[in-house]
């Protein structure tokens, strides 16, 4: 089992001993998903926090009218799950679905407490990861407030050029909170402008 990318990611925040690494390896596992498969389904309890080794997922929400709203994409070296469901073990609000064949490192809710007890440094690691996620989420709220759809699209394109290339445009529209038709209009406007 090769969890090296996760270990590298952890080592940016805390340094684990060989023994701790061994313990961590013994408690997590890798799971392969095919394109289209669900990691989490709305309504189920989310049992895992997942680190993306390869591939790509979308986290989305289906509203009462049946409309799909994409909350985030996760690619290599990102985390994915429904944290609300995971931390309180209640039914998930979100779906997580693979957009490509993907390999995820799965941390089960059954073992997180063991992990935190045996490797207190992981508590620090995850605190910092979540702090960053929270800050990013707040910044997104600010963007929703103060940018036009065009500005938000330009921001997305600049920040996540790698993601834009891997994902169909109608999903980017959903992520930006606009219709695919309007994103198409924005893109043709941008072409005329330059």
The CB-of-113 to a copy of itself minimum distance in angstroms stands at 10
Among a copy of itself, DNA, none, partner that 93 touches (CB below 5 to 8 angstroms by kind): a copy of itself
Q: Contact with DNA (CB under 7 A): which of 150, 155, 159, 160?
A: 150
| Dist CA 97 CA 59 (whole Å) | 7
The reply to whether 194 sits near DNA by the rule CB under 7 A is no
Q: Contact with a copy of itself (CB under 8 A): which of 1, 15, 142, 161?
A: 142
The reply to whether 116 sits near a copy of itself by the rule CB under 8 A is yes
The reply to whether 170 sits near DNA by the rule CB under 7 A is yes
- Is 193 exposed, middle or buried, given 0-12, 13-18 or 19+ CB atoms closer than 10 A? exposed
Written as six digits, the tokens of 155 are: 């921001």
Instruction: Evaluate the CA torsion angle 174, 85, 29, 12 in order and state its sign.
Output: positive
Q: Contact with a copy of itself (CB under 8 A): which of 76, 118, 123, 164?
A: 123
The CB-of-66 to a copy of itself minimum distance in angstroms stands at 11
The reply to whether 180 sits near DNA by the rule CB under 7 A is yes
The reply to whether 43 sits near a copy of itself by the rule CB under 8 A is no
Among a copy of itself, DNA, none, partner that 84 touches (CB below 5 to 8 angstroms by kind): a copy of itself
Residue placing its CB nearer to a copy of itself in the complex, 32 or 132: 132
The 70-109 site mask, x for binding a copy of itself (CB under 8 A), equals -x-----------xx--x-----x----------------
**What distance lies between CA 72 and its chain's CA centroid?**
6
**What distance lies between CA 177 and its chain's CA centroid?**
17
Residue placing its CB nearer to DNA in the complex, 121 or 143: 143
């Amino acid at each position: 089992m090769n969890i090296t990318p996760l270990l590298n990611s952890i080592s940016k925040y805390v340094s684990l001993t060989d023994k701790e690494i061994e313990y961590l390896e013994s408690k997590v596992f890798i799971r392969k998903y095919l394109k289209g498969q669900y990691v989490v389904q709305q309504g189920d309890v989310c049992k895992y926090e997942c680190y993306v080794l390869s591939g790509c997922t979308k986290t989305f929400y289906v509203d009462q009218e049946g409309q799909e709203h994409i909350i985030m994409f996760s690619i290599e070296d990102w985390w994915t799950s429904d944290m609300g469901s995971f931390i309180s073990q209640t039914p998930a609000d979100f779906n997580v679905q693979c957009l490509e064949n993907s390999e995820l490192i799965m941390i089960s809710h059954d073992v997180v407490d063991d992990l935190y007890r045996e490797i207190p440094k992981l508590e620090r690691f995850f605190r910092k990861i979540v702090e960053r996620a929270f800050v990013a989420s707040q910044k997104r709220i600010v963007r929703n407030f103060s940018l036009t759809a065009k500005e938000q699209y330009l921001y997305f394109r600049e920040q996540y050029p790698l993601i834009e290339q891997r994902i169909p445009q109608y999903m980017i529209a959903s992520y930006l909170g606009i219709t695919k038709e309007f994103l198409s209009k924005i893109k043709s406007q941008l072409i005329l402008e330059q």
